[in-house]
Amino acid sequence: MSGKPNTGVQTGLWHEGWYRYAHRLDSPNFGARPAGLAIDLIVIHAISLPPGQFGQGHVQELFTNQLDWQAHPYFESIRGLQVSAHFFIGRDGALWQFVASPDRAWHAGQSHYLGRDNCNDYSIGIELEGVDDGPFEAAQYETLSSLCAAILQAHPIKQLAGHEHVAPGRKRDPGPGFDWPRLQKALGLPDRCFPKNSPR
């Protein structure tokens, strides 16, 4: 894995932490990371709004504080929520970026992984459009693999995990429908980089 320090992420694929192949959609929901803390974890999530419905643009609206809380009955249950992820991958593989990678997005919430709390402080959050009990699309895996490879070049990533692994008992995504071996094979990374309880 990359051992390069975070120097503002200036490569052919990145400009000031923004990935060149993503649609940029700035979220106001972010902050600074603790000084001197390496970005060494990727957290993979699943999201759909309303749950189980895809392609309506509501996730993008949520992450930019533009969601109409009255547009669907479910939205009342999350009214006022201010969250973000660095990236969102639609069912067709389309990629959006909401927060520059050196900045702290609000995706993991109360979390703990491998002896460390507050995963938002040192992680990149990637949301896949989907549900935690269903499969994901081939186009999503293709985009996810390319994105993760680019993140590995820009940051000293040591681990990849799901939201379910950093917030066990509270979160279940990306869930049993996510193919961890497929991602591992695409990235060519050893077992130690993945959750111990994910399938191989």
Kindly state whether residue 2 falls inside one of the protein's structural domains: no
- What are the pLDDT digits (tens) for 147-184? 999 999 999 999 999 999 999 999 999 999 999 999 99
- Alpha carbon 88 to its chain centroid, in Å, reads 7
Looking at residues 181-191, what average pLDDT do you find? 98
Residue 5: the pLDDT is: 39
Question: Which residue in 16, 61, 127, 164 is the catalytic one?
Answer: 127
Query: Which helix (H) or strand (E) covers residue 143, if one does?
Result: helix 138-154
Kindly state whether residue 93 falls inside one of the protein's structural domains: yes
Global pTM reads 0.94
Kindly state whether residue 174 falls inside one of the protein's structural domains: yes
- Average pLDDT across the chain, whole number: 94
Kindly state whether residue 4 falls inside one of the protein's structural domains: no
- Of the listed ranges 2-11, 58-67, 130-139, 143-152, the least confidently predicted one is 2-11
| Spatial distance between the Cα atoms of 69 and 106, rounded to a whole number of angstroms | 20
Res. 21: pLDDT tops 60: yes
Looking at residues 127-144, what average pLDDT do you find? 97
**SS (HEC) of 174-194:** CCCCCCHHHHHHHHCCCHHHC
Residue 196: the pLDDT is: 86
Beta strands 123-129 and 41-47 are parallel
Look up 127 and say whether it is catalytic: yes
Kindly state whether residue 40 falls inside one of the protein's structural domains: yes
Kindly state whether residue 113 falls inside one of the protein's structural domains: yes
Q: State the distance between the two ends of the chain, measured CA to CA, in whole angstroms.
A: 19
Res. 2: pLDDT tops 90: no
Residue 83 tokens, joined: 């969250």
Residue 9: the pLDDT is: 59
Res. 3: pLDDT tops 50: no
- What are the pLDDT digits (tens) for 45-103? 999 999 999 999 999 999 999 999 999 999 999 999 999 999 999 999 999 999 999 99
Kindly state whether residue 130 falls inside one of the protein's structural domains: yes
CATH number for the domain including 141?
Answer: 3.40.80.10
Structural domain of 134 = 14-188
Instruction: Indicate the number of domains in the chain.
Output: 1
Kindly state whether residue 21 falls inside one of the protein's structural domains: yes
